[in-house]
Structure 1
Amino acid sequence: MEASDAPPADSIAVVGGVYHERCMRPRWREIFGSAGRAASAIAAMQGAVELHGYVDAHGAEVVTQRAVFSTTPMAIRTKEASTAVAFDYHHGLETPRIYGVAQPLPEIEVSARHIVRFGMLEGDARVHGDRVVYDPQNAQNPRPFHENGSTARELALVLNQHEASLMTGKTDVPVEEMARELLQTHKASVVVIKRGPRGALVFDGTNVHAVPAYRSQEVWKIGSGDNFVAHFAHQWMQRGRTPAESADLASRATAFYCETRSFAAPESLAAFNPPAITVSERYAKGWRPTVYLAGPFFTLAQLWLVEQARGNLRSMGLTVFSPYHDVGLGSADDVVSKDLDGIRRADFVFAIGDGLDSGTIYEIGFARALNKPVIVYCENESEENKKMIEGSGCTLTKDYVGAVYQAVWLAAGL
């Protein structure tokens, strides 16, 4: 679908994927994708925006209606796709199952003053702008911005640390060195590298600025990176703020998005004052704590969740001691002393509380008796059944992804 009306002078052209998204827990059925979400986030901040991308017939109807009800101009300039691309998740930390990607579609070309370009699955976009923000969104092979002929007078690269490592070919070097190399070899004016609980590093060619990550009560992970890019672009392009100021406001807005699953407006963002995540000196220097994973593993469902938690915690850089994996099954004489030694050696405990498994409850109590921090993910038990756990100083959450992030934030501060 094309629109012919001229955009406002400060409008941002957002180019990227418009995808169907489905998550089992928490339940989520929406059509956003990187470009659709970023355009909505900019519009919520009262920034004029154009949405460019490929979209199927149903998706086109949804984004058109969303634009109609937007209080800020949102022009829809999408190209028709015959199939819908869909992302399926069990939870927000899972690598999604992706459906509907067929043969590459014809390249999109966009020329505008301000542009946000995302990497896409079903095609490519060649863009030409004065100020451009580029997020390659590719965990295996992030493509350089200029590779397809795209141009920018001022280019800002927004990457996570893994993408920065892939694009520089370097792993065991300071992030500052990666940023400087990206600035030079990719002809960028600004490089923003996101570093998880350590926040983001912003390099503008002269100075390096550290921007903190901010804590949220819950964590809705899907699309949080899109939201960061949108707010960075809005502040840098439409509000005239410095890259460091723009990244800090984007970090705050991302915490708002993670906590509410909604887009911040100027008033709500101004009133939102989340605490910055504290990072200890030894964590910043590379030390990582050990977490004891407590939880029942006697049914397929229980084992699946233990595997998920172990994998997610390890992917966040933590060392995990799991009784199932590191001790195994056996009699009380075989396993109990080894399990308790694991708690003694661990820095804190991550516990799966649903089902009120007696062994898990004992492990929680044993850890608290040793004054070790405990994060408890417990979604389905009554307040009465959780009273002792909560009252003993554990961090208790009903949100699985939020529980994992609580563990990572705790680890960063130890």
Structure 2
Amino acid sequence: MSKANLITVVGGIYRELCMHPRWDAYVGSGGRAALALATMDVPVELHAYADESAAENFAYQAALTTISLHITTIPVTPGFHYTHGLSVPAIYGRDQQNPPICVHTSKALRFGMIEGDAIIHAERAVYDPQNAVDPQPFSANGSTADELALVLNRHEAHLFLGQDTTDDDEAVARTLAEKQNAAVVIIKRGPRGALVFDRGTVSTVPAYRTRRVWKIGSGDNFAAQFAGAWLHDGLSAHEAANQASLATAYFCEHGGSYASRAALSEFKRPPIDVSPDWCRGERPKVYLAGPFFNLPQLWLVEQARTTLIDMGLNVFSPYHDVGHGSAEDVVEKDLEAIRSTTLLLALVDGLDAGTIYETGYARAINHPVVVYSECEHSEDRKMMEGSGCIMTDDFVSAIYHTVWEAARV
């Protein structure tokens, strides 16, 4: 294996558990990135921490690829436990003090890790800090690169600047490039895709719409695909970011599976439409329709409402904003709220009469409706499907389709 063509990945191997959809795997940022690159026929080596069980588990996966695996043994491999793909995970084994991994290489992809640190000396490097609280600059621990690309989400980018932050993403990217001596800065912006700063030139690439969304690890996949295209294939930062965006859409649609070059060449999805209002920071209000008469129903309503708010939307929830009451107390308030909101997310499992009525009312006034239903028979979904509702049987996909419709209108 030629060292000149090799990409060195340094990142976590973590145990990831998700209750629904069911998922139990040893991957993490580093493991996932290495697998994604290997699937794209990019020569790759992975440096990671792992305990004996995690190392053995991932070694079985790596054995099916060309990944060269280098493990630093630690007592306990951290774990991330999710209720669903958009829930805040419970994190285990994060309070560890392990010696840093030190690597000298030509091309590197470095991730932030919770169980240790990585000191990288590379000619060219891609850095994804993966820290929603206190991201550290690439050079803070002594890492060096002749040419550096930062891959950040918008929250991380703004955290780096602290009180100096601005809502102007282009200005943020320019400032980060100057302060962190980065040639390239990629800022991921949800439905708006990504802003690409490349040595003073600014461009954007779209996010791509998918039928389903597998969220866990999608950011790892984006960073890996960008690194492969930019470091190995020699694409420009703009071209690499666009390819990474499309490959991440493939990952999301195929339940966390990695795109090969052949599969990606045949994968076509439309860009997500984003309105000028959304780009200016305006956020429409979503009506959340769903029954709330027992604990499971209330839990789902609360999860949907909290997740939509966390993703920047305004939400009207009959339970939270009107409450229980007689027909005289609640019906007109709910119908007026449907008229004054922009779209509706319907939680229809159980076929609650009120939820079905609200869904039909919204479609009658031509509001977009996203329907989340896992359990109902196709016959009971017929009117919703036939009236143009966006149908999904996956909770995370329902949330994303709602955000995408909100961004479009």
Whether TM-score is above 0.5 comes out as yes
Pick one of 337, 347, 351 that aligns with 2:346: 351
**Alpha-carbon separation, structure 2, partners of 1:329 and 1:141:** 42
Q: How does 1:75-86 map to 2 (within 5 A)?
A: 75-86=68-79
Do the aligned partners of 2:166 and 2:172 also contact (CA within 8 Å) in 1?
no
Do the aligned partners of 2:131 and 2:156 also contact (CA within 8 Å) in 1?
yes
* Partner residue, 1:196: 190
CA shift for structure 1 position 8: 3.5
Q: Does 1:183 align with 2:177?
A: yes
Secondary structure of 2:378's partner? coil
User: What amino acid does structure 1 have at the position aligned with 2:174?
Assistant: R
CA 1:331–1:171 in structure 2 vs 1: closer, same or farther (change >3 Å)?
farther
Q: Does 1:152 align with 2:182?
A: no
Secondary structure of 1:249's partner? helix
Q: Does 1:233 align with 2:227?
A: yes
Q: Does 1:27 align with 2:39?
A: no
**Alpha-carbon separation, structure 1, partners of 2:160 and 2:305:** 28
* Partner residue, 1:342: 337
**Alpha-carbon separation, structure 2, partners of 1:380 and 1:11:** 47
**Alpha-carbon separation, structure 2, partners of 1:126 and 1:227:** 22
Show structure 1 runs of 5+ residues with no match.
1-5
* Partner residue, 1:404: 399
**Alpha-carbon separation, structure 1, partners of 2:96 and 2:165:** 33
Q: How does 1:4-19 map to 2 (within 5 A)?
A: 8-19=3-14
Q: How does 1:359-374 map to 2 (within 5 A)?
A: 359-374=354-369
**Alpha-carbon separation, structure 1, partners of 2:182 and 2:53:** 37
* Partner residue, 2:282: 287
* Partner residue, 1:103: 96
The alignment's C-alpha RMSD in Å is 1.0
Do the aligned partners of 2:16 and 2:24 also contact (CA within 8 Å) in 1?
yes
Do the aligned partners of 2:342 and 2:367 also contact (CA within 8 Å) in 1?
yes
Pick one of 203, 207, 214 that aligns with 1:209: 203
**Alpha-carbon separation, structure 2, partners of 1:102 and 1:180:** 34
Show structure 2 runs of 5+ residues with no match.
none
CA shift for structure 1 position 285: 1.1
User: What amino acid does structure 2 have at the position aligned with 1:278?
Assistant: D
CA shift for structure 1 position 54: 0.4
**Alpha-carbon separation, structure 1, partners of 2:96 and 2:217:** 25
CA shift for structure 1 position 298: 0.7
Do the aligned partners of 1:41 and 1:263 also contact (CA within 8 Å) in 2?
yes
* Partner residue, 2:217: 223
Do the aligned partners of 1:7 and 1:50 also contact (CA within 8 Å) in 2?
no
CA shift for structure 1 position 68: 1.5
CA displacement 1:267-320 (0-9 Å, x = unmatched): 000010111111111111111111000000111111111011001111111110
Do the aligned partners of 1:7 and 1:75 also contact (CA within 8 Å) in 2?
no
Q: How does 1:304-319 map to 2 (within 5 A)?
A: 304-319=299-314
Do the aligned partners of 1:292 and 1:343 also contact (CA within 8 Å) in 2?
yes
**Alpha-carbon separation, structure 2, partners of 1:156 and 1:9:** 18
User: What amino acid does structure 1 have at the position aligned with 2:135?
Assistant: P
**Alpha-carbon separation, structure 1, partners of 2:243 and 2:48:** 26
* Partner residue, 2:167: 173
* Partner residue, 2:124: 131
CA shift for structure 1 position 9: 2.3
**Alpha-carbon separation, structure 2, partners of 1:400 and 1:7:** 44
CA shift for structure 1 position 103: 2.5
CA shift for structure 1 position 56: 1.3
* Partner residue, 1:60: 55
User: What amino acid does structure 2 have at the position aligned with 1:79?
Assistant: T
Q: Does 1:265 align with 2:275?
A: no
Pick one of 85, 92, 105 that aligns with 1:92: 85
Do the aligned partners of 1:107 and 1:126 also contact (CA within 8 Å) in 2?
yes
Q: Does 1:251 align with 2:242?
A: no
User: What amino acid does structure 2 have at the position aligned with 1:326?
Assistant: D
CA shift for structure 1 position 59: 1.2
Task: Name the TM-score, length of structure 2 as normaliser.
Answer: 0.98
Secondary structure of 2:257's partner? coil
User: What amino acid does structure 1 have at the position aligned with 2:248?
Assistant: T
Q: Say how many residue pairs are matched.
A: 407
* Partner residue, 1:3: none
CA displacement 1:138-183 (0-9 Å, x = unmatched): 0011111110000000000000000000001244430000000000
**Alpha-carbon separation, structure 2, partners of 1:275 and 1:141:** 35
Do the aligned partners of 2:13 and 2:48 also contact (CA within 8 Å) in 1?
yes
**Alpha-carbon separation, structure 2, partners of 1:173 and 1:225:** 22
CA shift for structure 1 position 206: 2.2
Secondary structure of 2:277's partner? helix
**Alpha-carbon separation, structure 2, partners of 1:98 and 1:303:** 25
**Alpha-carbon separation, structure 1, partners of 2:284 and 2:278:** 8
**Alpha-carbon separation, structure 2, partners of 1:274 and 1:326:** 37
User: What amino acid does structure 1 have at the position aligned with 2:247?
Assistant: A
**Alpha-carbon separation, structure 2, partners of 1:239 and 1:42:** 11
**Alpha-carbon separation, structure 2, partners of 1:389 and 1:122:** 48
**Alpha-carbon separation, structure 2, partners of 1:310 and 1:171:** 28
CA displacement 1:328-379 (0-9 Å, x = unmatched): 1111111111111110101010110100011100100111111111101001
Secondary structure of 2:145's partner? strand
**Alpha-carbon separation, structure 1, partners of 2:174 and 2:221:** 25
Do the aligned partners of 2:12 and 2:111 also contact (CA within 8 Å) in 1?
yes
